[in-house]
């Protein structure tokens, strides 16, 4: 039903305005509805007796209270005749503090928030009153304008402020403290906000989350609307948050035929990319790809084959014989194939090279066990070697002896690991400086004070890579390409831990090649054998249910309901363990098998944030989708950024949320100050609760983890449970169902589809 009616004059309005409100339902015959249009204190009921009442109100967003993953939003609003009310609903998705909105909805009584407007329709309105304009400009929506400058601008131009910015921007320099640079910044930010707002309307019309508008505009700028409706499949892989399903919905609603070749090709690429991102596969067998892509686009496999042929001709994918199944073909994304081929060639090159390590006599360390002594000899005599072993078997001590021996022989050493946490652990365990693989590859020129190498760290006589199970195909290829022939490369890791987050299974593949020397440490030292954590880890590795030992260190608390599990985990992390152990809650890390669900890292992390760092009056904050950033938050970069010098897996603390400048400032644990623009906050995740995958390479004094059946059989596997337990230094507490714990301990994970072992084996023949 659509009703058009003039609203009475409002303060600041020069004339009556028409408002069009539309409300629809799938079952009109069962619907009782009416609009009540409110303005200037006058209410017009255009419904019939007994019909439900919908209210239209114009209000300004004061602050966001809550944003869910599905765009459901709760905001505190202010209207001229109703200050400080709460509005909620999915139509509010993407609104920001300072915006003026025209809302239509139903009032309801909420137990916590009191009277609340449940929003059915939301329309952005250009603010027209002095107060609304001041709030809008001072909210941080327009970069470069804070509350004080907003007050100065509006005091000068009054109700004409936005019109001046839009049509006579040069006049901004009439305001004190605004020069040419600030004027240009304000005008550019204003134009961007207008464009994003228009793009949000387009997305809402297509039934797509308006939260994607800013991300699309960041990539395509003024071309955004044209690309969005003209070639939406271009968005895949270029705009974060847009995968095939979202682009396909846009395309189909924009009139793209279901059998369009662009759509079929995009579906094939999506299945290949999903296999890499979700399961870590480097390739997909042809029959599996044909069936998966056909299901995705709901078309015949003949069309899929044609798309594969076209993508092969375009050199976007590679089809070759399967390394495991004779007569079957496998399909790679071109980049994955190139990296796998290059990594095999680089490892073979390093293995064949003649050592440049100075071979001087050295005194054997009598404290070493026989298998540790064998590992030292292997690292000194082989240009590529592998050292593996479980917790308590002395890997760190062995590495320390190897590094000391090489230095005593006159050689140089670089100790490195895939993440900042792992590098820090390596340094603490060996007493020697260590760095991330990313920093090693990025460093040039003179060495830093305290480092072990004399020139470029990638050119040391011995390069030790700890936590090698975390090496994905991309990082391993970059690493081996940088190592000169003759240098010794020692890969150290626990083969029973989770594989890398990225595609590939480098450590496992290398261990499958007999020509590459390796030593596995199996002797558990006496000082380690009494640890409940280490005992539990070895039981899990054997497929047995871990049990609390007499000496402590491991505990399992049985609960079945996921929501009850989440509440208990939060209580343990914030109150029980800190009180009993006499430690700060920051010493307790929550690790989750999965992100989603009541006991996932997102929901538990949200609860922990509200307990440890809640919203406070006067404390600035910024909502980026369903995540809110506040000073004091613990965060973790989830993408490498060489320009900023931050890398996946590092940890940091938010030091400032600068709303006028639209940036969040963080300080990494090694003391570096880094800025993230509001549009870059997808690169950060909160670290109150993280997934087990994100914790790889880290170690925490106390670990609490939910183990619930809703995590699914795909995640509750032996390697995940083993990795989780071995992240704790003093205590690990598991909370959840006994059946889920038993299943996780006994279930082996599937093998990743990789061809590295076969390529390496062929290189040595």
Query: Tens digit of pLDDT for each residue in 448-469?
Result: 444 444 457 888 999 999 999 9
Pairing outcome for strands 462-465 and 663-668:
unpaired
What phi and psi, each to the nearest 5 degrees, are found at residue 734?
A: -105, 135
More confident residue, 396 or 324: 396
What is the enclosing helix (H) or strand (E) of 380?
helix 370-381
Q: Around 719, how many Cα atoms within 13 Å sit in the side-chain half-sphere?
A: 18
Pairing outcome for strands 33-39 and 52-67:
parallel
Q: How far is CA 163 from CA 168, 169, 192, in A?
A: 7, 9, 16
pLDDT digit string, tens, across residues 113-155:
678 999 999 988 888 888 888 888 888 888 888 888 999 999 9
Q: Is 315 annotated as a binding residue?
A: no
Predicted confidence at residue 757, as pLDDT, reads 95
- Concatenating the DSSP letter of every residue in 434-458 gives -EEHHHHHH--SSPPTT-S-SS-GG
pLDDT digit string, tens, across residues 239-270:
988 999 999 999 999 899 999 999 999 999 99
Q: Is 395 annotated as a binding residue?
A: yes
Q: Is 140 annotated as a binding residue?
A: no
- State which fold the 353-441+456-521 domain adopts: Rossmann fold (3.40.50)
| Cβ atoms of residues 586 and 574 within 8 Å | no
In angstroms, the first-to-last Cα distance of the chain is 76
Task: Describe the chain by its helix, strand, coil percentages, rounded to 5.
Answer: 40, 25, 35
Predicted confidence at residue 7, as pLDDT, reads 34
Which CATH number fits the domain 532-746, given the four candidates 3.30.1330.30, 2.130.10.10, 3.40.50.300, 3.40.50.970? 3.40.50.300
Given this chain, do its domains 261-340 and 353-441+456-521 carry the same CATH topology? Answer: no
Predicted confidence at residue 550, as pLDDT, reads 57
d(CA 257, CA 57): 40
Provide Rg for the chain, Cα atoms.
30
pLDDT band of residue 503 (cuts 50, 70, 90) is: very high
Q: What homologous superfamily is domain 54-125 in, according to CATH?
A: Nucleic acid-binding proteins (2.40.50.140)
Q: Is 334 annotated as a binding residue?
A: no
pLDDT digit string, tens, across residues 71-115:
899 999 998 878 889 999 999 998 988 899 999 999 988 777 678
Question: What value, to the nearest 5°, has the Cα angle with vertex 16 and ends 11 and 22?
Answer: 110
| Cβ atoms of residues 742 and 630 within 8 Å | no
Sign of CA dihedral 382, 384, 388, 392: positive
Predicted confidence at residue 325, as pLDDT, reads 87
More confident residue, 184 or 204: 184
- Concatenating the DSSP letter of every residue in 268-294 gives HHHHHHHHHHHH--SEEEHHHHHHHHH
Predicted confidence at residue 455, as pLDDT, reads 56
Q: Is 597 annotated as a binding residue?
A: no
pLDDT higher than threshold 70 for residue 377 = yes
d(CA 267, CA 278): 16
Q: Where are the domains of the chain?
A: 54-125, 126-178, 196-254, 261-340, 353-441+456-521, 532-746
pLDDT higher than threshold 50 for residue 333 = yes
Q: Around 619, how many Cα atoms within 13 Å sit in the side-chain half-sphere?
A: 13
- State which fold the 261-340 domain adopts: Arc Repressor Mutant, subunit A (1.10.10)
Residue 533, SS3?
helix
pLDDT higher than threshold 50 for residue 30 = no
Mean pLDDT value across the chain = 86
CA-CA-CA-CA dihedral for 474, 478, 480, 484, to nearest 10: 170
pLDDT digit string, tens, across residues 4-29:
333 333 333 333 332 333 333 333 22
Q: Note the maximum CA span of the chain.
A: 100
How large is the average pLDDT for residues 411-434? 90
d(CA 343, CA 364): 34
């Amino acid at each position: 039903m659509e009703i058009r009616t003039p609203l009475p004059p409002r303060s600041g309005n020069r004339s009556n305005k028409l408002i069009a409100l539309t409300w629809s339902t799938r079952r009109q015959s069962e619907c009782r509805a009416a609009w009540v249009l409110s303005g200037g204190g006058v209410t017009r009921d255009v419904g019939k007796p007994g019909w439900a009442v919908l209210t239209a109100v114009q209000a300004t967003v004061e602050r966001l209270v809550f944003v869910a993953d599905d765009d459901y939003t709760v905001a505190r609003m202010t209207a001229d005749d109703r200050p400080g009310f709460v509005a909620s609903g999915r139509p509010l998705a993407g609104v920001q503090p300072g915006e003026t909105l025209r809302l239509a909805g139903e009032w309801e009584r909420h137990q916590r928030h009191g009277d609340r407007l449940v929003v059915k329709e939301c329309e952005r309105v250009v603010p027209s009153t002095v107060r609304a304009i001041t709030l809008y400009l001072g909210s941080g929506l327009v970069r470069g304008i804070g509350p004080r400058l907003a007050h100065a601008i509006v005091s000068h131009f009054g109700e004409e402020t936005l019109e001046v910015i839009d049509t006579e921007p040069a006049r901004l320099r009439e305001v004190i403290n605004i020069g040419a640079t600030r004027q240009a910044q304000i005008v550019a930010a204003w134009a961007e906000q207008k464009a994003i707002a228009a793009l949000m309307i387009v997305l809402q019309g297509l039934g797509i989350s308006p939260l994607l508008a800013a991300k699309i505009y960041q990539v395509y700028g003024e071309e955004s609307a044209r690309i969005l409706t003209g070639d939406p499949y271009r968005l895949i892989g270029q705009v974060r948050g847009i995968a095939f399903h979202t682009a396909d919905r846009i395309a189909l609603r924009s009139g793209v035929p279901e059998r369009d070749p662009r759509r079929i090709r995009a579906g094939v690429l999506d299945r290949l990319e999903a296999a890499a991102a979700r399961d870590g596969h480097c390739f997909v067998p042809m029959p599996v790809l044909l069936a998966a892509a056909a299901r995705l686009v709901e078309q015949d496999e003949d069309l899929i084959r044609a798309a594969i042929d076209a993508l092969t001709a375009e050199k976007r994918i590679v089809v070759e014989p399967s390394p495991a199944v004779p007569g079957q073909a496998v399909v790679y994304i071109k980049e994955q194939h190139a990296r796998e081929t290059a990594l095999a060639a680089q490892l073979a090159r390093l293995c064949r090279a003649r050592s440049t390590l100075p071979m001087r006599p050295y005194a054997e360390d009598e404290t070493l066990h026989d298998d540790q002594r064998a590992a030292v000899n292997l690292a000194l005599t082989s240009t590529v070697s592998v050292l593996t072993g479980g917790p308590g078997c002395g890997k760190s001590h062995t590495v320390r002896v190897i590094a000391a021996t090489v230095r005593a022989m006159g050689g140089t050493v670089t100790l490195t690991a895939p993440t900042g946490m792992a590098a820090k652990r390596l340094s603490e365990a060996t007493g020697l400086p260590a760095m991330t693989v990313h920093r090693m590859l990025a460093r040039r020129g003179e060495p830093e004070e305290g480092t072990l190498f004399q020139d470029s760290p990638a050119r040391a006589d011995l390069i030790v890579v700890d936590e090698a199970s975390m090496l994905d195909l991309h990082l391993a290829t970059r690493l081996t390409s940088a190592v000169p022939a003759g240098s010794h490369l020692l890969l150290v890791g626990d083969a029973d831990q989770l594989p890398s987050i990225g595609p590939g299974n480098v450590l496992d593949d290398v261990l499958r090649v007999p020509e590459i020397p390796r030593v596995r440490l199996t002797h558990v030292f006496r000082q380690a054998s009494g640890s409940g954590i280490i005992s539990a880890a070895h039981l899990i590795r054997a497929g047995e249910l871990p049990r609390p030992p007499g000496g402590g260190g491991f505990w399992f608390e049985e609960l079945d309901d996921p929501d009850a599990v989440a509440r208990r985990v939060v209580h343990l992390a914030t109150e029980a363990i800190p009180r009993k152990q006499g430690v700060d809650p920051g010493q307790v890390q929550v690790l989750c098998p999965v992100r989603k669900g009541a006991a996932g890292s997102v929901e538990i992390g949200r609860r922990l944030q509200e307990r440890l760092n809640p919203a406070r009056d006067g404390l600035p904050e910024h909502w980026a989708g369903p995540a809110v950033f506040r000073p004091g938050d613990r965060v973790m970069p989830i993408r490498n950024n060489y320009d900023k010098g931050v890398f996946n897996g590092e940890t940091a603390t938010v030091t400032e949320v600068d709303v006028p400048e639209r940036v969040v400032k963080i300080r990494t644990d090694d003391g570096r100050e880094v800025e993230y623009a509001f549009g870059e906050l997808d690169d950060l995740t909160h670290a109150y609760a993280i997934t087990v995958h994100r914790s790889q390479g880290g170690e925490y004094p106390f670990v609490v983890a939910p183990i619930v059946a809703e995590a699914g059989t795909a995640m509750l596997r032996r390697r995940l449970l083993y990795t989780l337990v071995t992240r704790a230094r003093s205590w690990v507490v598991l909370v959840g169902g006994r059946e889920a714990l038993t299943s996780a301990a006994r279930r082996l994970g599937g093998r990743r589809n990789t061809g590295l072992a076969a390529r390496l084996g062929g290189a040595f023949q």
